[in-house]
Amino acid sequence: MKKVEDFNKGELVKVDLYSRTNYLNGKYRAGQIFGLDNLAEVKNNDIFFLETLKVRADSADKIIAEAETRGKDTTNPNVMKELGEEINALGKPIHRSESVMTAIMVSLTIIVCYGIAIGVWGLVFSKNFLSFGLYGSIAGSLISLLFVAPVIAVQRTKEQIKNIIFGVDMLISSIGIIIGVAGLVAWVIRLILL
């Protein structure tokens, strides 16, 4: 038999989840709570996902306890299904690889956006589009590394990532688009005047 000291971090999180009352009495399964209804499928080395499930289990336990204090019969499968929908509405837990890949894709989009936007200004000043585009790409890389990628990479649900991407689009990408459009207008004016 394994001693507690012999368990790795993922196994310890799983032990915690398996030992919860709501897991033992089948409420997670009855509520069809994503990830908690079938822990056997989750790998022990997927620590990020297991920690996300632990946070989900904490929320589920709290919501189930509140329902019980309001007099709801949580042994009723229909009641647990309703509570499961409420718990699942908190967001679908994701694996670390999904959040990292999303961070990379959003960062690449910002790099390209700023590269093109600043590259247009190279045309305005009768310089090389590509050299100015390189400066814009460097600016986009710095913005991504400092403000975007680290935030997206640590998110634990798809909904959180969608909200952050919306904010990035509204703020950071919009600034790049405005810079590019202003450059195009300046370039057209320069062409007309010359």
Cα atoms in the Cβ-side hemisphere of radius 13 Å centred on 123: 19
Distance CA(114)–CA(53), nearest Å, equals 37
Cα atoms in the Cβ-side hemisphere of radius 13 Å centred on 83: 28
* pLDDT band with cut points at 50, 70 and 90 for residue 3: low
Instruction: Give the DSSP letter of residue 156.
Output: -
Q: What is the mean pLDDT of the chain?
A: 91
Q: Could you give the angle at which helices 158-168 and 96-124 cross, rounded to 10 degrees? A: 10
Three-state DSSP class for residue 180: helix
How high is the pLDDT of residue 39? 86
* pLDDT band with cut points at 50, 70 and 90 for residue 5: low
How high is the pLDDT of residue 100? 94
- What's this model's pTM, rounded to 2 decimal places? 0.77
Cα atoms in the Cβ-side hemisphere of radius 13 Å centred on 74: 23
Mean pLDDT of 88-100: 89
